[in-house]
Amino acid sequence: MQLPILHLLSYIFPRTILKTSSPYNRDIRVVEESGKYKLLVNGSTETGQYIKKLLKFAVDKLGMSKEKNIRSVLVLGVAGGTIIYMLHALYPKAQITGVDIDSAMIEIGKKYFGLGSIKKLKLTVADAKDYLRRQHIKKYDVVVIDLFIGRDIPAFVSSNNFLTRIKTILTPRGFVLINYLKELEYGLKPSGMTKILRTVFKDVRSVDYQYNRFFLAKKSL
The pLDDT score that the predictor gives to residue 184 is: 54
**The pLDDT value given to residue 1:** 36
The distance between the two most distant Cα atoms of the chain, rounded to a whole number of Å, is 58
Bridge partner list, 144: 75, 177
What is the DSSP pairing of strand 170-181 with strand 212-218?
Answer: antiparallel
- Which has the higher per-residue pLDDT, 175 or 212? 175
Quick one: 166 exposed, middle or buried, by C-beta within 10 A (0-12, 13-18, 19+)?
Answer: buried
pLDDT at 183: 57
Please check the confidence at residue 180 and state whether its pLDDT lies above 90. Answer: no
Q: Could you tell me the pLDDT band of residue 152, with boundaries at 50, 70 and 90?
A: confident
What confidence tens digit (pLDDT) does each residue in 67-79 have?
888 999 999 999 8
Q: Which residue type, as a one-letter code, is found at position 155?
A: A
Tens-digit pLDDT profile for residues 31-45: 988 888 999 998 888
173 against 183, higher pLDDT: 173
**CA–CA gap between residue 145 and residue 176 (Å, rounded):** 7
Distance between CA atoms of residues 6 and 4, nearest Å? 6
Give the per-residue pLDDT at 8: 63
Tell me the pLDDT tens digit for each residue of 74-102: 999 998 899 999 999 999 999 999 999 99
Weakest-pLDDT range from 91-95, 114-118, 133-137, 201-205: 133-137
53's enclosing H/E stretch is helix 49-61
Note every long-range contact of 204-213, with CB atoms under 8 Å and residues 24 or more positions apart, other chains counting.
Answer: 205/62, 207/57, 207/58, 207/61, 207/62, 208/182, 209/54, 209/57, 209/58, 210/54, 211/181, 211/182, 211/183, 212/54, 212/58, 212/179, 212/180, 212/181, 212/182, 213/180, 213/181, 213/182
Domain residues of the chain, as ranges?
5-45, 51-218
Coil vs helix vs strand at 70: coil
pTM value is 0.89
Q: Which of 87, 52, 61 is nearest to 73 (CA)?
A: 87
d(CA 8, CA 208): 36
Res 188 pLDDT > 60 = no
> Residue 11 and residue 1: Cα distance in Å, rounded?
18
Spell out the CATH class of 51-218.
alpha beta
Q: pLDDT confidence of 142, banded at 50, 70, 90? A: very high
Across 51-55, 73-77, 128-132, 211-215, the highest mean pLDDT is recorded for 73-77
Write down the pLDDT at residue 182.
63
Going by DSSP bridges, is the β-strand pair 36-41/121-125 parallel, antiparallel, or unpaired?
A: unpaired
